[in-house]
Amino acid sequence: MIFKDRTAAGKLLAEKLVAYANRSDALVLALPRGGVPVAFEVAKALNAPLDVFVVRKLGVPGQKELAMGAIADGGVRILNEDIIRDEKIDPEAIEKVTVEEQQELQRRQNLYRGDRPKPVIQGRTILLIDDGLATGATMRAAIAALHKQQPAKIVVGVPTSSPQTCQEIKSQVDEIICAQTPSPFYSVGFWYEKFPQTTDQEVRDLLNQAANRQLPFAIGT
C-alpha cells in the first residue's frame, strides 16, 4: 500500500489502535518531525491528548542519513556498534555529533512545547507514533528514555516498517502495530505518494490544534 500522505497514513493507523480510544490513561506521543502529522490523526480519532517526544538521530559524518545511533530526552543515547565498526567512526567523532544533536534536541524541545509542561508519563499508556521505521534507531532511543519514566504500557504504532525492525522492536515494548511491513522495504518515504519534510511550524500548528481541542484529558496532565 502506498499512502497518499502522512495524514492518510495516520487515519489508517488510528483504525488499528481503536482499542485505546477514550481512555483516560492514554497519551499519544509523536516522534518529530515526521511523526507529528501521523500522530495528530491518531490522537484525534482516539480522543486522546497529543504531545511530542523529541529524539535525534546521530548521523554518520558525511552520511547523515545513515544512523550510527540516536539520543532522546533524559540523557539517553543508543549506539549502533555495527555501523560504528563498519564505518570506522572514532569516539571523538561520535561525541562531536552527539553534542551537536543535543543542542538541536533542546532547541526543538523549547520551540515545540513553549510554555506547556512536559506530560506525565508514569503510570500511563503511551502510544508512541512515527511515520515509519527503517533502522529504528530513533524509536529505540525513545523507548529506552520512556522506560525510565515508568509508563504502565508502551505501544508503538507506525504506518509502515521494515519487517526486521518491526520484529526487533517488538521485544522492547508491550505492543507494536506496524500497519504494513513490505519486503523489500527500501525506505519510509518510498511508501508515501507525498513525503515532504515536515516543518517546525507545521509541528507547532498541529500541537496547538491538539491542545485547543476540547479534550477531557488535557496535555500535561
- Is the CB of residue 17 less than 8 Å from the CB of residue 98? no
Helix spans in the chain (H): 6-16, 35-46, 81-86, 91-113, 137-148, 163-170, 200-212
* Strand-pair category, 125-129 with 26-30: parallel
Cα end-to-end span (Å), the chain: 37
Residue for cell digits 540523557? 75
Q: Is 90 helix (H, G, I), strand (E, B) or coil?
A: coil
Other Cβ atoms within 10 Å of 179 Cβ, number:
19
Q: What is this structure's pTM?
A: 0.89
Instruction: Dig out the grid coordinates for 9 from the structure.
Output: 497514513
% of the chain beyond a pLDDT of 70: 96
DSSP designation for 20: G
CATH numeric code, 6-55+119-212: 3.40.50.2020
How many residues can be counted in the chain?
221
pLDDT, tens digit, for every residue of 122-131?
A: 999 999 999 9
Instruction: Dig out the grid coordinates for 155 from the structure.
Output: 505501544
Q: Where are the domains of the chain?
A: 6-55+119-212
Other Cβ atoms within 10 Å of 53 Cβ, number:
28
- The confidence band for 189, taking pLDDT boundaries of 50, 70 and 90, is very high
pLDDT, tens digit, for every residue of 28-64?
A: 999 999 999 999 999 999 999 999 999 999 999 998 8
What does the pLDDT read at residue 219? Answer: 39
Q: Which residues contact 23 (CB under 8 A, 6 or more apart)?
A: 46, 48, 125
